[in-house]
Amino acid sequence: MRRPTRDRAEGQRRVTRRALVVGGLQLAVLGTLLFRMRHLQVDQADEFRLLADENRINIQLIAPARGRIFDREGRVIAENVPSYRITITREQAGDTEAVLARLVELQAGELEKARRDLSELRGDTPVTVADRVDWEAISRVAVNAPALPGVMPEVGLSRRYPLGASYAHTIGYVGAVSERDLERIDAPEALLRLPRFQIGKIGLEARLEETLRGEAGTRRVEVNAAGRVMRELERQEGSPGADIQITCDNALQGYAHARLKGEGAAAVMLDCASGDILVSASSPGYDPNLFVRGISSADYRALLEDPLRPLPNKAVQGIYPPGSTFKMVTALAALEAGLVDYNETVYCPGFKEVSGRRFHCWKRGGHGNVDLHRSLRDSCDVYYYELALRVGIEGISEMAQRLGIGVQFDLPMTSVAGGLAPSRQWKLANRGEPWMVGDSANTSIGQGFVLASPLQLAVMTARLATSRAVVPRLVKSIDGVDQPTGHGDSLGLNENHMREIRRAMFAVSNSSRGTAFRSRIAEDTLRLAGKTGTSQVRNISATEREGGVRANSDLPREQRDHALFVAYAPHDAPRYALSVVVEHGGGGSTAAAPIARDIMLQALYGGDPPLEAYPAADRPRIRTLQEELRRERARPDGEASDRA
């Protein structure tokens, strides 16, 4: 039966509406797709082109060459040498470890560290699996490159210290950046995350890290689907670190280290005109190259357990009671305050009663009547106990700081100590106790609370020799630009007082009764002026004193006195100031003064002095010593003793 005409028209209208709706939806979808395609292909074309390029082109950092370090004459102290290594990038590498192990001898420790780094670091970070490999191993890896995706043989630069132990404490050393290093740095730059990138760990290397590091370069390389570099497209070299010239003298520094061999000791020498540090030696030393490569547990344990303490920098970090080398400070404080006259005498019976306590002189029977000159020449303690009662601690402390004791000098070395010039306020704040008169008596002879580093003692000596506020300087120039000197202005002290102190210091070394007469310089034009010091490290009981104080040779090493000596020369036109401290050396005149005299003569002559510069009785021993030290300094790299 045929449908009515009206029903057929209604059906056609419905079909037409549906077709229009469906067609409209299709057009909308098509339009959306076309719009999206246009947006992707036109509006975002640059962005997707960049993403495509990044899949094909890698941008890599180029580590800059670290600045070199030279001595005052331009002789190398720290240099960069080629170092071959092999790296793996996790994103690009397959199971290549087995293949690589057949080509290169992998150290177990390095391999374990590489596995840990590969799992923890970003996938595109190259990780070093073998460092300091030889050229043959690098060649084998390069030849087998197709079978080793993501494995790259590389050549970089590594730090080398050709003088070994001589500068270990002053220059320090570099090592690979650790997570601990990164945590200490705010917003560390990407350069620091390069495999085995080296930064300064201690010493000048650490303190001038940013100056020495330089700025990274970049290179754009094209890689294939396996991630292997196909070609270099562009290279932009970075800026190498600045070269630094320090004030030390290699020959003199090496001699000082050799002369201190076998002792826990330190020596610091300054140029009186400029404040330049010519020697900063701490003994025993250690080979800083061991730390660059990654020191073994056994080697590090040996350094920690050595009773002579090779790791601390005794020259600037060690602080000691200065003993009788401090007596010039007390004398100047009294002279400047007008509380003593040159010719005034003090009677020394071997002790002085202070507040009901007996303070002893080192000479049990006493020195009799002594004036200022003789008190320094013979190192009478009682004379300075008397001055301490007159001057008081504030006057002594102020003069000590004026001469450099208790002053922390701004030098690019690690842990430069400030020492201590104690005062009433200091003791109350730090000990919670009031200052006692006996404290002043102890301080007057360089005992008690007063502490000084070998650097500060050398500065004190330079200031006494020149009447100027000489300031120590370690960096001579940076990239050829000279740095300010430490010549210093006048101390503002009475020159008559200074001359009297110098005259007495001259007698210490050149009078037959002087405490350092046996360590004098025989050459008239080069005679030195100095002062011995012996500082106690243990208390001497009244019972022991009554029965006779035990000799240092009868005591265990750790209970023996420290030995000190300070000097400048020539006495009439000072060029160099020097301090020597021998830990538990026994006596300043026997342990420290001979070392100081020998170093001073090396500086004055610019090398081994003639035997005629020594007292006749010393010449046979000096001849043998010079031959031994020449052999010591002539040893090739790697053979020098850790205590050289």
Task: Round to whole Å and give the CA distance between 328 and 464.
Answer: 9
pLDDT category of residue 423 using cuts at 50, 70 and 90 = very high
φ, ψ dihedrals at 578, nearest 5° = -145, 145
Task: Round to whole Å and give the CA distance between 338 and 387.
Answer: 11
Which pTM value belongs to this model? 0.84
pLDDT category of residue 639 using cuts at 50, 70 and 90 = very low
Three-state secondary-structure class, residue 369: strand
Provide the residue type at 595 as one letter: I
φ, ψ dihedrals at 313, nearest 5° = -85, 95
The tens digit of pLDDT for each residue in 192-235 reads: 887 678 899 999 999 999 999 998 888 777 766 555 566 767 77
Residue 425 and residue 372 in contact, taking contact as beta carbons nearer than 8 Å: no
Task: Round to whole Å and give the CA distance between 130 and 138.
Answer: 10
Structure tokens at 247: 């004030």
Q: Residue 398, Cβ neighbours under 10 Å: how many? A: 17
Taking 70 as the threshold, does the pLDDT of residue 6 lie above it? no
User: What's the whole-number mean pLDDT along residues 77-103?
Assistant: 71
Mean pLDDT score across all residues of the chain: 86
Instruction: Compute CA distances 301 → 295, 304, 384, whole Å.
Output: 10, 5, 45
Residue 417 and residue 359 in contact, taking contact as beta carbons nearer than 8 Å: no
Taking 60 as the threshold, does the pLDDT of residue 52 lie above it? no
User: What's the whole-number mean pLDDT along residues 317-326?
Assistant: 96
DSSP-derived letter for residue 271 is E
φ, ψ dihedrals at 153, nearest 5° = -80, 130
Taking 50 as the threshold, does the pLDDT of residue 107 lie above it? yes
pLDDT at residue 451, rounded to an integer: 97
- Residue 633: its H or E element: helix 619-634
User: What's the whole-number mean pLDDT along residues 92-115?
Assistant: 62
Calculated CA dihedral for residues 139, 144, 148, 151, nearest 10 degrees = 10
41 versus 241: the higher-pLDDT residue is: 241
User: What's the whole-number mean pLDDT along residues 304-312?
Assistant: 95
The tens digit of pLDDT for each residue in 383-409 reads: 999 999 999 999 999 999 999 999 999
Residue boundaries of the structural domains of the chain? 58-246, 250-297+313-634
User: What's the whole-number mean pLDDT along residues 320-342?
Assistant: 96
* DSSP states of 202-220: EHHHHHTHHHHH-B-EEEE
**How many percent of the chain have pLDDT more than 90?**
61
pLDDT category of residue 132 using cuts at 50, 70 and 90 = confident
Taking 70 as the threshold, does the pLDDT of residue 249 lie above it? yes
Taking 60 as the threshold, does the pLDDT of residue 49 lie above it? no
CATH superfamily of 58-246: Penicillin-binding protein 2a (Domain 2) (3.90.1310.10)
CATH number of 250-297+313-634: 3.40.710.10
pLDDT at residue 95, rounded to an integer: 60
15 versus 416: the higher-pLDDT residue is: 416
pLDDT at residue 39, rounded to an integer: 66
**How many percent of the chain have pLDDT more than 70?**
83
User: What's the whole-number mean pLDDT along residues 7-21?
Assistant: 67
Buried b (16+ CB within 10 A) or exposed e, 318-333: bbbbbbbbbbbbbbbb
Three-state secondary-structure class, residue 77: strand
Task: Round to whole Å and give the CA distance between 398 and 334.
Answer: 12
pLDDT at residue 178, rounded to an integer: 84
